[in-house]
Amino acid sequence: MSTLIACHGCDLLVDVANLPDGSRAACPRCSHFLTRYRHDAISRALAYAVTASVFLVIANSFSFLSMSAGGLESAMTLPETALTLYRFGMWDLAILVAGFIVFVPALLLGLVLVICVPLYLGHPAPWLISAARLLYSIQEWSMVEVFLIGVVVSLVKLAQLADVQLGFSFWAYVAFSITFTLALTTLDRFQCWQMIEQVQKAAQP
């Protein structure tokens, strides 16, 4: 297997062979990040993905936040953030919100799982290449962190108008955001393709 990687910033070919565990490689010409090597990257990514999946289910199952003002109280769940927009006729925005904060992250987690499980077991799978291509193609479309920042900014403003209580799902979504990010960043692109190639070559007669 080739240990050469082309820099995405300047196209310089860099040899990243024999990287110590936990070290990262950067382009010597433009300092663009290339790869980070971990000997247990697959098991780490798999553990983070499973944990993130559990937190995502919890985040969609309980109250996200509740507000009370003037004797009136209302509670909202995470799916209702998109449903409320749909009820007010903003169906296009509802689709975008639901897609970016729930469905795209869930799809990414599913792709991490279907990639990591065969690699962890050392068994080739016919979907590995297509799943990896899809994962790294749509990875930038996840807006989990942007959604959380928007919620925090909104809470600062709402706290001046009403009594806001953060629900169990809010903290579950925070934990999901952390473990979700760790799952994606741990599954290094270059190392992932190297392991896919290694597993497929080992299975050849």
pLDDT digits (tens, 9 = 90+) for 8-54: 888 888 888 878 887 888 888 898 888 888 888 999 999 999 999 99
- The secondary structure element, H or E, covering residue 78 is helix 78-87
Domain boundaries, the chain: 1-37, 39-203
Q: Is 81 helix (H, G, I), strand (E, B) or coil?
A: helix
Q: Is the pLDDT of residue 1 over 60?
A: no
What mean pLDDT do residues 126-142 have? 90
3 pLDDT more than 70: yes
Residue 66 has pLDDT above 80, yes or no: no
Asked if 190 contacts 35 with a C-beta cutoff of 8 angstroms, the reply is yes
Look at residues 96, 76, 77 and name the one whose alpha carbon lies nearest to residue 86: 96
CA-closest candidate to residue 129, choices 140, 119, 121, 142:
119
Task: List, as one string, the DSSP characters of 123-172.
Answer: ---TTHHHHHHHHHHHGGG--HHHHHHHHHHHHHHHTTTSEEEE-HHHHH
Q: If you ran DSSP here, which 8-state letter would residue 187 be given?
A: S
pTM of the shown model: 0.84
Cα(96)–Cα(54) distance, rounded to whole angstroms? 23
Higher pLDDT, 43 or 142: 43
Distance CA 66, CA 74 (A): 6
Could you give the 3-state DSSP secondary structure of residue 15? strand
The model's pLDDT over 148-183, given as tens digits with 9 standing for 90+, comes to 888 888 877 777 777 778 888 989 999 999 999 999
Q: Show the CA angle centred on residue 142, arms to residues 189 and 135, nearest 5°.
A: 35
- pLDDT score of 82 more than 90: no
Q: What are phi and psi of 117, to 5 degrees?
A: -60, -50
Q: pLDDT grade, residue 203 (50/70/90)?
A: low
Amino acid in the structure at residue 132: A
Whether 204 shows a pLDDT value over 80: the answer reads no
pLDDT of residue 151: 81
CATH of 39-203, one of 3.40.50, 1.20.140, 3.20.20, 3.30.70: 1.20.140
Position of tokens 């990414």?
108
Count other C-beta atoms under 10 Å from residue 109's C-beta. Answer: 22
Q: Does pLDDT of 2 surpass 80?
A: no
